[in-house]
Chain A
Amino acid sequence: MKNIFKILFAVILLSTFFYACDKDSSAITSGDSSNTGQGGSLAKFAIQGNLMYKVEGTMLKVYDVSNTSNTVLLNSIDLKNTGVETIFSNSQYLFFGTQNGMLIYGLSKPSAPNYISTYTHVVSCDPVVVQGNTAYVTLSTGNQCNRGLNQLEAIDITDITSPTLLKVYRMGNPKGMAVAGKYLYLCDQAAGFKVLDITDNMNIVEVARISNLLAYDVIASGNILTITSTSGVYQYDCSDPLNLIFLSKIASQK
């Protein structure tokens, strides 16, 4: 009997531990388990549980990936939006970066995502990342949907049906992002790779920068940042986000 209690206690302790890890990692990843990989913010694929969401042109495709030997297309949904560039997911919602703004779909029925709301801004291309009740969106020039704006927007999504702008921050030419805890890693291309403290969304401040890194997307995974740029793929240790430590570079020829 005593042993049973011991085991029970151990199980409870362990499950709390795993729960804590899960909770922690969900803040930085789009995926939901170690069996699922992790992409950058410019991805057009998102996996949640046994479902895979994929942007194809103006359509959202939903695939069942529970059976490794037989992937099944479950659903095709017309997003009624041209230029869907990126997809970000958490367990409740899908966030699309489109040329007209951020589009939000709900996952209450995961195989049939339902339209919830649109956060519209000027026509631009932009990825989105989400943490808690805030969505971070970048708008940048230098592409076919150029409207001359280079900025980061913090958007309150507490009321998911009505996203509201909190604050706009001028940037150089921002592209991909990753959010981890109180930091937002932002690829500002020629303006450098920036570490932003997002403790207060009304007062986001730059706390570190790698100025010679022409980055366009980043993945934050544990203590490692993986960054893709015009000169190759870089990895940095971000144990201390204020002092990123260079680890390696995979050089590209172009």
Chain B
Amino acid sequence: MVFGISCIYRDDYKNVPDKVFGYRPVYFDSSVDINTLIYSTTARPVKTSGKIYLFQKYLFVGEPGEGVHVFDNSNPNMPAMLCFINIPYNYDIAVKDSILYADTYFGIVAINIAHLPDIKVLQHIRGSVETPPLPGRRSFTGWAGQSSSSKIYFECIEPNKGIIVSWLPDTLIKPKCYQ
């Protein structure tokens, strides 16, 4: 075991099981036009209520990983569905001066919401892109923690495919990478 450097190992090919449970990286193609990913659409029911946010008469309810539901909350007795803002990989928002700032996996976006339900994506500020941890691990590159005795296999990363946004559980054939 080598601590403090990395806990990503490449296995000796002969030690890898033929078929094993593990994870495949899900890539995000950063060359895609942001406006095709972030848009306002018709209101829809809330699946999972995530984080909440109030701005003036609006109530925002996060749909974890997908975007935010917007309600007209002029009357808290009867919040009215207004629209859904589709924002991939979004978990958190903040609003100032009718600009909604939302996190996405590839940074933050600034969206003008002065004319809801219409929106306008103003800016995309790319952040540091960190590979998300494998399920059950705290970080991808740090020490895996106490449970590191049990290997988690994953399909090795190919950086030219883009940045990794999540991990998809799957049965892997002779994976070479584990944490």
Question: Which single member of A43, A46, A68, A76 contacts B97 (CB below 8 Å)?
Answer: A68
Interface status of B48 (Cβ within 8 A of chain A): yes
Interface status of B61 (Cβ within 8 A of chain A): yes
Interface status of A98 (Cβ within 8 A of chain B): no
Inter-chain contact A39/B51, CB cutoff 8 Å? yes
Residues in A neighbouring B112, C-beta threshold 8 A:
68
Residues in A neighbouring B49, C-beta threshold 8 A:
228-230, 232-233, 250, 252
Question: Which single member of B93, B128, B139 contacts A76 (CB below 8 Å)?
Answer: B128
- Distance of A248 Cα from B110 Cα, bound (Å): 30
Interface status of B37 (Cβ within 8 A of chain A): no
Interface status of A119 (Cβ within 8 A of chain B): no
Inter-chain contact A217/B96, CB cutoff 8 Å? no
Interface status of B173 (Cβ within 8 A of chain A): no
Inter-chain contact B139/A82, CB cutoff 8 Å? yes
Interface status of B169 (Cβ within 8 A of chain A): no
- Distance of A229 Cα from B127 Cα, bound (Å): 30
How big is chain B's contact interface, by range? 35 or more
Residue from B56, B71, B76, B99 whose CB has the most chain A CB atoms within 10 Å: B76
Chain A nearest CB from B113 CB (Å) reads 10
Question: Which single member of B48, B73, B96, B127 contacts A47 (CB below 8 Å)?
Answer: B96
Closest to B58 in A: A37
Residues in A neighbouring B101, C-beta threshold 8 A:
45, 52, 54, 63, 65, 71
Residues in A neighbouring B79, C-beta threshold 8 A:
235, 248, 250
Residues in A neighbouring B46, C-beta threshold 8 A:
232-233, 250-253
Contact with B along A210-252 (1 / 0, CB 8 A): 0000000101010010111110110101000000000110111
The number of residues on chain A lying at the interface, defined by a beta carbon within 8 Å of a beta carbon of chain B, is 50
Chain B nearest CB from A227 CB (Å) reads 8
A37-B94, A45-B92 given; name 20 further pairs at CB < 8 Å. A36-B96, A37-B54, A37-B56, A38-B53, A44-B91, A45-B103, A47-B94, A54-B108, A56-B103, A56-B130, A63-B101, A68-B110, A82-B138, A83-B138, A219-B52, A228-B61, A232-B49, A235-B79, A247-B76, A252-B45
* B-binding residues in A (CB < 8 A): 34-40, 42-47, 52, 54, 56-57, 59, 61, 63, 65, 68-71, 73, 76, 82-83, 144, 217, 219, 221, 224, 226-230, 232-233, 235, 237, 247-248, 250-254
| Chain A to chain B: the 10 pairs with minimum beta-carbon distance, closest first | A37-B55, A45-B94, A37-B95, A252-B46, A252-B49, A235-B76, A228-B52, A44-B92, A38-B54, A57-B130
